Every structure is written in structure tokens, then in C-alpha cells.
């Protein structure tokens, strides 16, 4: 379960602290999903970074399956993030010199080595996202939608408990964007994970469901998962 309790985030400035998050609460059980919407500068990406243990809250608590990722050392936090959390960003962040399959299995290297089982899972995920015939292709040989599909497969290769997506369809056309949104929902559900998506696009938010809005630094319920 994901438990977020009264999370705040403030940044220092010459005129004093600037508050971005002002007491955010969120609960998600396995298989549940949430879409976070709000204008630019409302703190959506900051919130996602805190959920992903990339940025530390000023106050409040985040727990994933009962574990506080900020309670350990930076190395322990990095290991937790790699094992438990998957990320999909607006930019695919694929390595140009690696094939699609190599990019998908890359997270396993942080845990030691790419085993045969991981390689098979990588191939299965590429098949699941419709790219079986492209596993030996390099990012430069793939379309924007195909590159983002590889990024989705990479995020899921270690079967994370929490999948986070920050504007994952922002640079895609409407057809490719809808396809990516559906894949996020389907693949997160298949591993029993929780899904949190940040987006400006109402059409994507409706596909994901569980809509919340960041208003004055707090999450406000804006709909339910269809």
C-alpha cells in the first residue's frame, strides 16, 4: 500500500521559504491508480519525485508497503527505489547506444547482473507492448511512440510495486498517447502494482482514472477510477 501523510515541500529563496506542497495526503492499495492534474508550477512533478524517493519532503511521511524510503541511507534509498518503483517520464531517456532490449533490462544492472530470467521478461514485455520485432533496434531507429513503449517496458521489468509516470504522453500524437495510457493501466494491473500519473491532458486523465487536482499545495479529489 502507498501511504502519504501530510507531505509538505518548501524551497529556500532570498525572500524566505517558498511552499510547493502544503499537506498532501494519498492512499492507494495494490491495483489502484491515481491521476494528478494541475497547472504548471502547482507541484505535480515535485510530488511525483517525493513519491519516487528522488526528492525528500520537508515534513510528512511517505510509506510504500510499510517502508519509509527516507529512513535509510542514500544507498539504501537508491536500492529501494530500483527494486520497488518504476518511472516513465515525458522524455524516454533511452541510451542511444543500446538496443531496445538492452534498454529494457538496464534497471537489473543496478542489482547486479542481467539474468536469463530478466532477459526473458524483457522480451516478454517488448512483445506485450507490440515491439517483438524491434528488440534489436536502437532508439534512433524507433518512432517517438515506440521509444516511449520501450520506456514503459523498462519501468516494469523488475515488477515494481509503484509505477510513476510524469507527463508520459506529452510529446506524442493523440493516437500514440492513448495507446501509452492504456498500456500503463493494463501493465501496472498485471503486476498488481499501484499507478500514479501526472498529466495536463484531460483525455489521458479520463483513461487512467482516479483523478485528483493539486490546488494550493493539496490534493483534491476530482473523480473516481472508471
Residue-level pLDDT at 224: 41
- pLDDT exceeds 50 at position 45: yes
- CA dist 210 and 207 (Å) reads 9
pTM score: 0.89
Structural domain for 184, as ranges: 2-221
Residue-level pLDDT at 226: 37
Q: Dump pLDDT digits (tens) for 185-214.
A: 888 888 888 999 999 889 889 989 999 999
Nearest to 127 by CA among 151, 148, 109, 150: 150
CATH of the domain at 95: 3.40.50.300
Residue-level pLDDT at 172: 80
18-28: strand order across its sheet: 18-28, 2-11, 59-64
- Using 50, 70 and 90 to split pLDDT, how confident is the model at 225? very low
- 108 or 114: whose pLDDT is higher? 108
Whether residue 226 lies inside any domain: the answer is no
Whether residue 208 lies inside any domain: the answer is yes
Please state the domain count of the chain.
Answer: 1
Amino acid at each position: 500500500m502507498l501511504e502519504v501523510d501530510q507531505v509538505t515541500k518548501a524551497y529556500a529563496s532570498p525572500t524566505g521559504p517558498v511552499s510547493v506542497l502544503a499537506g498532501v495526503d494519498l492512499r492507494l492499495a495494490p491495483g489502484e491508480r491515481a491521476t494528478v492534474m494541475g497547472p504548471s508550477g502547482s507541484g505535480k512533478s515535485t510530488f511525483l519525485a517525493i513519491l519516487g524517493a528522488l526528492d525528500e519532503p520537508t515534513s510528512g511521511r511517505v510509506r510504500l508497503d510499510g517502508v519509509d524510503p527516507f529512513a535509510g541511507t542514500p544507498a539504501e534509498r537508491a536500492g529501494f527505489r530500483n527494486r520497488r518503483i518504476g518511472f516513465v517520464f515525458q522524455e524516454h531517456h533511452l541510451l542511444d547506444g543500446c538496443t531496445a532490449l538492452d534498454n529494457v533490462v538496464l534497471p537489473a544492472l543496478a542489482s547486479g547482473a542481467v539474468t536469463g530470467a530478466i532477459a526473458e521478461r524483457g522480451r516478454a514485455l517488448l512483445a506485450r507492448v507490440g515491439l517483438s520485432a524491434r528488440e534489436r533496434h536502437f532508439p534512433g531507429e524507433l518512432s517517438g511512440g515506440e521509444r516511449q513503449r520501450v520506456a514503459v517496458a523498462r519501468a516494469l521489468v523488475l515488477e515494481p510495486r509503484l509505477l510513476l509516470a510524469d507527463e508520459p504522453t506529452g510529446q506524442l500524437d493523440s493516437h500514440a498517447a492513448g495507446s501509452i495510457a492504456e498500456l500503463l493501466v493494463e501493465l501496472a494491473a498485471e503486476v498488481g502494482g499501484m499507478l500514479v500519473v501526472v498529466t495536463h491532458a484531460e483525455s489521458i486523465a479520463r483513461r487512467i482514472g482516479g483523478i485528483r487536482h493539486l490546488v494550493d499545495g493539496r490534493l483534491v479529489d476530482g473523480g473516481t477510477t472508471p
